[in-house]
Amino acid sequence: MTGTVTSIWRHPIKSHGREELSEVTLAAGMTMPGDRVWAVAHENSEADNTAWARPQSFSIVSRNPALMAISAQLDDANNKVTLFHPELSDLNFDPDTEAQAFLDWVSPLVPEGRAAPARIVRVPGRGMTDTKLASVTLCNMASHREVEKQVGHELSILRWRGNIWFDGIDAWEELAWVDRDVRIGEAVLRVHERTERCPSTKSNPDTGKHDVDTLAALNAFGHQDFSVRAEVITPGTIRPGDRVEVI
C-alpha cells in the first residue's frame, strides 16, 4: 500500500509554534532542518547548550496549554523567528541573541505556579526532540480521522505537532512500521518507535485551552500512541504530493 504526503510542518522553538513548509530536504541522521532548533529551559532546569535534555527540562505545552496557540515563522537566512499568538502582539527576534525579548513576551502565557521560562538553549547539530533519537515524526491522516470519529467532531492536525503528514494508508498501519524503512519522496527513513502521547494534545491550537480528551480517545484503540518517530537513512527532498511507501 502506498500513500501521499499531504503536508510538512516544523516547530522552530520546541512547544512554541508551528510552521508549514512547501518542501524540506532531510539529511541522514539529522532532525528536520529548522525543527526544535531551540528549546525554552525553565527556572528549575539544568539544560544547557551541550546535550539533549528530557522534555521536562523545558517549558512545554503539557504544562503550559496556552503555548499550543502559538504559530511561528523561521527566517533561515537571518536566524530570526516571528511568533504569533491570538492574545499577544507578534514578536520577531533572534533566539540566540534576543532571548529576553522572548521571555518578556511569553511570560503572560505561563500559568500561575508553573516554573517560569528562564533561557533559550540550542544544541548544535540537532533538534531538541522528545527522545534522544534525532527523529522526524510521520503522521497518518487516516489515524487522525479515526480519532475524530471517536470524539465526534473534527480536530486540527496541529494538536499532534507532527512533521510529515500523509494519506492513503490504512488507519494505524504506521504503528506497525517499527524497524521498517519508508521511502518518502527522495528520502528513506527507518521507523524506530511509536509516539506515546501526553496531555498536550488536549489543547486547542486556536485557543490554547483544553477542550478534547484526546488520550481517552486513543485509549479506545488500546493505546495512547499517535505517529511514529523515524531516523533519516537516505537524504533527500520531500514535497506535498510525494509518494509514501514501505520498502
What is the rounded CA–CA span in Å between residue 128 and residue 56? Answer: 12
Which domain-ending residue is among 78, 94, 121? 121
End-to-end CA distance of the chain: give it in Å, rounded.
10
- Distances from the Cα of 55 to the Cαs of 19, 177, 198, 208, in angstroms? 20, 25, 11, 19
Is there a domain that residue 126 lies in?
Answer: no
For residues 242 and 152, state if they share a domain: yes
Is there a domain that residue 52 lies in?
Answer: yes
Which domain-ending residue is among 121, 154, 171? 121
Read off the pTM: 0.96
For residues 114 and 171, state if they share a domain: no
For residues 157 and 237, state if they share a domain: yes
What is the rounded CA–CA span in Å between residue 164 and residue 174? Answer: 12
Please check whether residue 227 is in contact with residue 198, taking contact to mean a CB–CB distance below 8 angstroms: no
What is the rounded CA–CA span in Å between residue 106 and residue 115? Answer: 13
Please check whether residue 218 is in contact with residue 196, taking contact to mean a CB–CB distance below 8 angstroms: no
Question: pLDDT-based confidence at 206, cuts 50/70/90?
Answer: very high
Question: Residue 167: its pLDDT value, please?
Answer: 98
For residues 67 and 136, state if they share a domain: no
Provide the domain count of the chain.
2
What is the rounded CA–CA span in Å between residue 163 and residue 31? Answer: 10
CATH number at residue 218: 2.40.33.20
Which domain-ending residue is among 68, 87, 121? 121
For residues 159 and 94, state if they share a domain: no
Is there a domain that residue 69 lies in?
Answer: yes
Q: In the predicted model, what is the mean pLDDT of residues 120-145? A: 96
Tell which residue, 222, 206, 224, 205, has the closest CA to residue 214: 224
Could you report the per-residue pLDDT of 80-132, keeping only the tens digit for each?
A: 999 999 999 999 999 999 999 999 999 999 999 999 999 999 999 999 999 99
Question: Residue 1: its pLDDT value, please?
Answer: 84
**DSSP conformation letters of 66-121:** GGGG-EEEEETTTTEEEEEETTEEEEEE-TTT-HHHHHHHHGGGSPTTSPPEEEEE
For residues 19 and 105, state if they share a domain: no
Q: Residue 125, exposed/middle/buried by CB under 10 A (0-12, 13-18, 19+)?
A: exposed
Expressed as residue numbers, the domain containing 64 is 39-121
